[in-house]
Amino acid sequence: MKILVLNCGSSSIKYQLFEMPENAVLAKGVVERIGEEQSQATQRSNGETLTMAEQIADHEQAMQAIERMLTHDEKGAISSLNEIDACGHRVVHGGETFTGSVICTDELESVIDAYSELAPLHNPANLTGIRAARKMLGNVPQVACFDTAFHQSIPKVAYLYALPYALYREHKIRRYGFHGTSHRYVAREAATYFDKHKYAVDLITCHLGNGCSMAAIKDGKSVDTSMGLTPLEGLVMGTRTGDLDSAIIFHLVRKGYKPEVLDKIFNKNSGLLGISELSNDVRDLEQKEKAGNESAKLALDIFAYRIKKYIGSYLAVLNGCHAIVFTGGIGENSVAMRRRILSDLGNMGIELDDRKNTRIVGKTGEIQSDKSRIKILVIPTDEEGAIARDTYALTMEDVLV
């Protein structure tokens, strides 16, 4: 069974084609700069790289480009779109409605659209991708996999803000959390790694990339997470503020800043980029720090400090845990950042082994010392693979998620 997985952004579509149930990747690609004068498409399949440069006006044309690449005579993965049996989609916000992945229907599309006001940068693009795929693939089943679904197990004490309750009752203002597909994936992989049932592990999972979030996982279920109503809350990120005093907004409004300007500042111009005034990329900043740049060092220190604070708070929430799990581009690959985050935590039972840490880059492995009471695990995330498995499970009734 061949399953196409799509991750649609406002100006890009990332995709992977899987052979299920083997979970084998047949093709992996991305279409970028949709709507610009010169778009770029790249695909890797059967050890071959295929690139296209042309103007792609919208997501429908992007899907047509994906079709041409997947069915390319020499470097494609399939001969026809008729070989695709199902299509899975990443959808950022499912609100309180969805606790798992679901088959796409007209009614589902309406719900996704309704939640666009809570995720205006993501849900409209996700919905556009679903509609473009339905048009291209006809009656092939489409499945929506929600970033918020895994966090629906969070209790009220963790998801409610101390605002007038009417704001929750009338407008559903609450913590939802995101990166749920990634947190769920690494939690299940950690359980397998430790030879435990998926509902028998207590973990702190750290998804660290340009967007960052953490989750406290009790008995295999999310009980708290750092992102909130939107993906802005929580950790310092590449360009997002993370946690801040809400009164800053009122203060800046009185200074004459418009809401749309503040939205851009908090989401696009803050975080590592805002502090360093150099880059939103940890790799760039680590190089700048080595060259003696103090702004780069400060940005990295603040980034690590916020994560360390969340580790401490989640240890209190969980009353200890089996392991801390690092994933995402930074979590999987930055030896220096993991060292920065985990320094001076010995009295909490967390102690890094620097030699192990140096060896584990982009692969699964333990990096704690023999003295550490809590395991420290690196697990590369595979959100697309998780979406493919959900899609397969929902379209094959005899397969369990």
142 and 200 share a domain?
A: no
Closest Cα partner for 8 from 181, 144, 126? 126
Percent of the chain with pLDDT over 70: 99
Sheet with strand 375-378: strands edge to edge: 221-225, 212-218, 203-208, 323-327, 375-378, 365-366
Rounded average pLDDT over 3-7: 96
DSSP assigned state of 23: T
The answer on 118 and 13 residing in a single domain is yes
The reply to whether 52 falls in a domain is: yes
Does 154 fall in a domain? no
pLDDT tens digits for range 75-116: 999 999 999 999 999 999 999 989 999 999 999 999 999 988
Q: Are residues 100 and 235 in the same domain?
A: no
Domain boundary among 146, 173, 188: 146
3-state secondary structure of 200: coil
Residue type, 338: R
CATH of the domain at 96: 3.30.420.40
Cα dist. 350→233, 306, 346 in Å?
A: 26, 17, 5
Report how far Cα 28 is from the mean position of its chain's Cα atoms. 18
Q: Which residue has the tokens 């499970």?
A: 393
Over residues 138-165, the pLDDT tens digits come to: 999 999 999 999 999 999 999 999 999 9
Cα separation, 227 vs 183, whole angstroms:
12
In a domain, 83, yes or no: yes
223 with 292, same domain?
yes
89 within a domain of the structure (yes/no): yes
Query: Does 211 lie in the same domain as 92?
Result: no
Confidence category of residue 397, pLDDT binned at 50, 70, 90 = low
In this prediction, residue 94 carries a pLDDT of 92
Looking at the fold, whether 263 and 349 belong to one and the same domain comes out as yes
How much is the pTM? Answer: 0.93
In a domain, residue 166? The reply is: no
Single-letter amino acid code for the residue at 386: A
CA atoms within 13 A on the CB side of 354: 4
Residue 158 placed within a domain: no
Considering the domain boundaries, does residue 390 fall inside one? Answer: no
Rounded distance, CA 296 to CA 287, Å?
Answer: 9
Whether 321 shows a pLDDT value over 90: the answer reads yes
Same domain, 17 and 99: yes
The set of catalytic residues is: 147
Last residue of a domain, one of 129, 146, 163: 146
Helix pair angle (106-114, 123-137), 10° resolution: 160
Q: CA–CA separation, 324 vs 216, rounded Å?
A: 10
| Same-domain check for residues 80 and 226 | no
Question: 91 near 100, Cβ under 8 Å?
Answer: no
Sheet containing 142-146, strands listed edge to edge, beginning at the edge strand earlier in sequence: 48-54, 39-45, 24-32, 13-19, 2-8, 84-91, 142-146, 102-103
Least confident of 60-64, 251-255, 353-357, 384-388: 60-64
- pLDDT, tens digit, 9 for 90 and up, residues 17-34: 999 999 999 999 999 989
Residues 219, 335, single domain; the answer is yes
User: Which band of pLDDT confidence, cut at 50, 70 and 90, is reported for residue 401?
Assistant: very low
Q: What is the C-alpha to C-alpha distance for residues 22 and 24, in angstroms, rounded to an integer? A: 5
Same domain, 139 and 210: no
Unique residue bearing structure tokens 């690139």: 51
The domain total for the chain is: 2
Locate tokens 């695990």: which residue?
A: 377
Displacement of CA 144 from its chain's centroid (Å): 15
Binning pLDDT at 50, 70 and 90, where does residue 119 land?
confident
134 and 14 assigned to the same domain: yes
- Answer with the residue of higher pLDDT: 113 or 120: 113
Containing domain of residue 7, as a range? 2-146
Mean pLDDT across the chain: 95
The answer to whether residue 392 is domain-embedded is: no
Q: State whether residue 358 is helix, strand or coil.
A: helix
Same domain (yes/no): 130, 207? no
